[in-house]
Amino acid sequence: MSEIRHNWTKEEILEIYNKPLMELLYDAATVHRKHHDPNTVQVSTLLSIKTGGCPEDCGYCPQAARYHTDIEGNDLMSVQQVKAQALRAKSAGSSRVCMGAAWRNVKDGPEFDEVLEMVRTINKLEMEVCCTLGMITENQAKRLAEAGLYAYNHNLDTSEEYYKEVISTRGYEDRLQTIENVRKTNVTVCSGGIIGMGESTEDRAGMLVALSTLDPQPESVPINALVAVEGTPMEDQEPVEIWEMIRMVATTRIVMPETQVRLSAGRTSMSREGQAMCFFAGANSIFAGDKLLTTPNPDVHEDMQMFHALGLNPQKPFTKKDQPQTVEAENSLFQPLGEKPKWSRPGHMIPRNEMAKQKSK
């Protein structure tokens, strides 16, 4: 059960997901112990370096400009602001900073140059640097790698079938293409999804098929529970039950034994006991900090108290892979190409997205 396989089927994954919970926990914990130190958990800090005003229509996201939410938009942060936040995160126990910008895709130009400088700056602080900037081309991935990027996040969100019920402004194949572009570099891949968006158990299994059949499998897989934000198309979704989260984490652990499985959004509504069961089931990474982009998250000091109570230790940076080198901008081997890739725009109608867009505030 603990070998790395790239041929998981939906039926096999469903069989695992639906096992009696105690058996599922035991199997997942067994796989976890074979591949990881069960008392070590990686701590990442997510920084929203450019908030709101996004042209995409992701049904779960308060940053989509078309929905009427209370999000305050911000222009791109400065390198100095990012450095100050990274230092604060480091002193609070984080080994990784993940910078998120509410963009559809990266465009070559001064803003991307700034992001590259942020990557250089944080890598020099000896922290792992991750970016989540939307779709990127191979050349952009190479420029990020050269700056010292450790990981690129690009979530598949859900199954290919259900994706069409969530987003109409881009296709699943764009996500896979971006992951492929990242794979042409030494940057590790972070890709996961969200549960609680109205998807079926089959869709959850479908997403795990899509992730686990990637070769290599993503080095980290965030599992988010939907935070239903007022004004978004998913504002009325029922909260995810803790058992569903535990099942999802455990199944992810079994089908991707080497991956760091990250407990991401939705932790504020989970008890410490619930989170402890997720760690037992194979979660070995969390997002720390009082905000996850725009939604609330437990305070880092509360997390450290929980770690203390559970006997968990934060993972040191570069435990799984060596620190990348940073090449300074003036020595770069890659030029901005000003590409205009044809990312898809299916544009089909998603009734709940349309209704949220029409609603007045």
Segment interacting with ligand SF4 (CB under 6 A) among 61-69, 75-83, 191-199, 302-310 = 61-69
Question: Quick one: which of 44, 48, 63, 191 contacts ligand SF4 (CB under 6 A)?
Answer: 63
Question: Quick one: which of 14, 24, 58, 211 contacts ligand SF4 (CB under 6 A)?
Answer: 58
Catalytic (active site) residue 262: yes
| Annotated catalytic residue, options 96, 120, 183, 190 | 190
Binding-site string for ligand SF4 from residue 77 to residue 106, where x marks contact by CB under 6 A and - marks none: -------------------------x----
Catalytic (active site) residue 61: yes
Which 258-277 positions form the footprint of ligand SF4 (CB under 6 A)?
none
Binding site feature residues for [4Fe-4S] cluster: 54, 58, 61
Which is it for the CA torsion 120, 101, 171, 257, positive or negative? positive
Q: How far is the CB of 64 from ligand SF4 (least distance, A)?
A: 4
Which 132-171 positions form the footprint of ligand SF4 (CB under 6 A)?
134
54 touches ligand SF4 (CB under 6 A): yes
Catalytic (active site) residue 131: no
56 touches ligand SF4 (CB under 6 A): yes
* Binding residues vs ligand SF4 (CB under 6 A): 54, 56, 58, 61, 63-64, 102, 134
Active-site residues, by number, are 54, 58, 61, 98, 130, 190, 262
